[in-house]
Structure 1
Amino acid sequence: MTALHDRLLAGFAQAFGGEPELVVRAPGRVNLIGEHTDYNDGFAMPVAIGQETRVAFRPGGTGLRVAALDFAEDDAFDSAAPQRAGGGWRDYVRGVVDELVRAGISVPPGQLAIAGSIAKGTGLSSSASLEVAVARVLLDAAGERMDPVSLALLAQRAECDFVGVRCGNLDQIASAATTRGHALLIDCRTLALRQIAMPADVAVMIVQSGVVRGLVDGEYNQRRQECERAARTLGVPALRDVDEGMLDEACGRLDDLAFLRARHVCGDNRRTREAARALASGDLVAMGALMRESHVSQGRDFGITVPHTDVLAALMNEAIGEDGGARQTGGGFGGAVVGLMRQDRVAAVREAVLAVYRTPAGDVPEICIEVPSDGAGPVG
């Protein structure tokens, strides 16, 4: 298995004794392009990554006992009842259980241990991975089945309604419905999915800026409110229904801030559709140009990049050259920068980053090369 799996089993044995009956994994994700478009009913194109959350479960006893091995903390509550907030990581677990109960699922009592390899606040969707893994293992334990998109939407509701981050559906769908070796083009309104095979000679590089962000405490919800206000002013259900031409014609009806927010969303919706075509045809020149444009728009129009991610993206783009590109990925205000490049550029890009970039703490950045992985499923 893996070191993560061994740590999970050892932690389960220490917390509860014996072995679990079920183990489920759910991956994190890196979003290649299409940022803050999901809650605007738009388009996004993530890939699932090898960093993941694993959850072990054994039925029995009364209520649900939970051990969060990465925090050395635990929780216990009635798994058959609507939930109350417990704070921190507990709310992600309790929120999922709450949604399962509301959906009429008889969540069995038992012991549940959680371990992950995704650092919180790094822009790789540790929260969605946790939610999807918990939902999947409890559904399996209850003998119930949901298709991946339905499972993802349940997990999304847990984060929106229970945790309080008014996220879109991108992260949860990416964790639940991706396919190994493919990027996933998501139509976040219709929920149509298109698996796009990644070219064999293309590498996905993720570099951590070292700027950790928190979406609940940050400005994520404010950005959503600003987008919704722009859509109301324009008289449309969501910014998905506005293209860049329409926006230019209507600019006098929007205040400056609303116009900028809408311009980013409209632009990234277009860029994501174009990027899907470019990636499918192996056109890394076009793909890289779109990624660079998206990073500029995230900063100029949406206000979610920070100086460290701007420096890192510029450094990576220079090292990659025209045949690929880099951009900040995730909810913003820090986190990671993703780069897409030919395999033969990986060593040079890594060397360029390590030679120049330092995190706010003065450390060399964490760099990983990811292979697009499968969505959530059982282990063993």
Structure 2
Amino acid sequence: GIVLGAAIDRGLTVTGRRQEGGLIRISSAKMGSMEIRRAELCPQAEHPWANYALGVVSELDSLGLPIPNFSARVDGDLPAESGLASSAALEVATAFFLLKLSRAELPRLQIAKLCQRVEHQFVGVQSGLLDQVCSIFGCEGHAVFFDARNEEVRTIPFPCGFALLIAESGSKRELASGLYNQRRNETQLAAKALGTPTLRDASRATLEKSNLPPVLLRRATHIVDENERVRRARELLSAGDGRGFGALMNDSHESSRTNFENSTPELDLLVDIARTLPGVCGARLTGGGFGGAIVALCEQTRATVVGQELARQYVNRTKI
């Protein structure tokens, strides 16, 4: 389909050096450290966070690139399991680190696809490509539009006078637990039942004439409508219409809540509180859902006050 995202002012870095002795070592101040023999490279159940980096090694090896053994450290201020693409950030940072270490180069979109394969084959999450594309192509003050079919990547300036605000729910998400993959499977089943290659090729009229089971109909409705919302959002951003864009964010979250069912009570509460605050134009969950964070669009001059009031009300009501 078509998707719209944005890079934020948090991130991860991977630094390190070549390592002798047939070992790969990776450490993180937040997650600890691990090492593995290069000849035994495989997913690590005891260190799942490291699989995003190890998977990149595996994928680069499969391309025949001269990737050396290494010792690396992961640092940054991007929280994990919050719907903010921390896994994609680690994959992308590792890829650029290893390419520089081996004095090799790859096109940026090829790097994004390589990192997506890590999610699919090494981690076991059937994710899309938006997170990796945003990590690589994102730039300050711009949204990132990506068309997965023709592989168009375009950055679009955000309207002046507006800011994006991220709020964590305190409810961690784990996409590899199966719910995300289940939604992916449901959308594929819906497309097959409709006789279309993907749900991007379906329309509301197609759905209204179908005999899809209720669950698959809800999933398909979300995807069909979300693609249309992305088309409209791109137009509104290009026209500088922040308030119209915010209204689409509201619609998107309502569909996630009722049709795709990938929201949670905590995310719903954050969104509901945000929408009551002066200066907020719209809010929705971010990332794959099932916990994590929301993103709100608000007037730039009120961003600090909105963030403080949103946190105060949420903590008072949840005690999280």
Pairing partner for 1:75 from 35, 42, 59:
35
Structure 2 CA distance for aligned equivalents of residues 276 and 203 of structure 1: 17
TM-score by length of 1: 0.80
Aligned partner of 1:71: which letter?
Answer: M
Structure 1 CA distance for aligned equivalents of residues 270 and 132 of structure 2: 27
Q: Deviations over 1:237-285 (max 9, x none)?
A: 11111122222222x2x11111100000011110011011111211122
Q: SS at 2:144's partner residue?
A: strand
Structure 1 portions without partners, runs of 5+ = 1-41, 364-380
In the alignment of these two chains, the number of paired residues is 317
Structure 2 CA distance for aligned equivalents of residues 361 and 343 of structure 1: 27
Structure 1 CA distance for aligned equivalents of residues 29 and 215 of structure 2: 43
Pairing partner for 2:314 from 352, 357, 362:
357
Structure 2 CA distance for aligned equivalents of residues 305 and 320 of structure 1: 24
> 2:16 aligned with 1:47, yes or no?
no
Partner of 1:147: 107
Q: Give 1:218 deviation, angstroms.
A: 4.2
Structure 2 CA distance for aligned equivalents of residues 112 and 352 of structure 1: 40
The CA RMSD over aligned residues, in Å, is: 1.7
Partner of 1:85: 43
Matches within 5 A, 1:1-380: 42-63=1-22, 64-78=24-38, 83-87=41-45, 88-250=48-210, 252=211, 254-320=212-278, 324-358=281-315, 362-363=319-320
Contact 1:82 1:98 in 2 (8 A): no
Q: SS at 1:189's partner residue?
A: coil
Contact 1:211 1:360 in 2 (8 A): no
Contact 1:275 1:290 in 2 (8 A): yes
Q: SS at 1:50's partner residue?
A: coil
Most deviating of 107-116 and 215-224: 107-116
Q: SS at 1:216's partner residue?
A: helix
Q: SS at 1:298's partner residue?
A: helix
Q: Percent identity?
A: 36
Aligned partner of 1:229: which letter?
Answer: L
Q: SS at 1:91's partner residue?
A: helix
Q: Give 1:351 deviation, angstroms.
A: 4.1
Structure 2 portions without partners, runs of 5+ = none
Change (3 A) 1:275 1:93: same
TM-score by length of 2: 0.94
Q: Greater relative contact order: 1 or 2 (C-alpha under 8 angstroms, separation 6 or more)?
A: 1
Q: Deviations over 1:2-56 (max 9, x none)?
A: xxxxxxxxxxxxxxxxxxxxxxxxxxxxxxxxxxxxxxxx111111112111101
Contact 2:26 2:71 in 1 (8 A): yes
Q: Deviations over 1:71-130 (max 9, x none)?
A: 22222321xx57322121122122111110111111112221112312211110110100
Contact 1:46 1:183 in 2 (8 A): yes
Greater helix share, 1 or 2? Answer: 2
Change (3 A) 1:359 1:239: farther
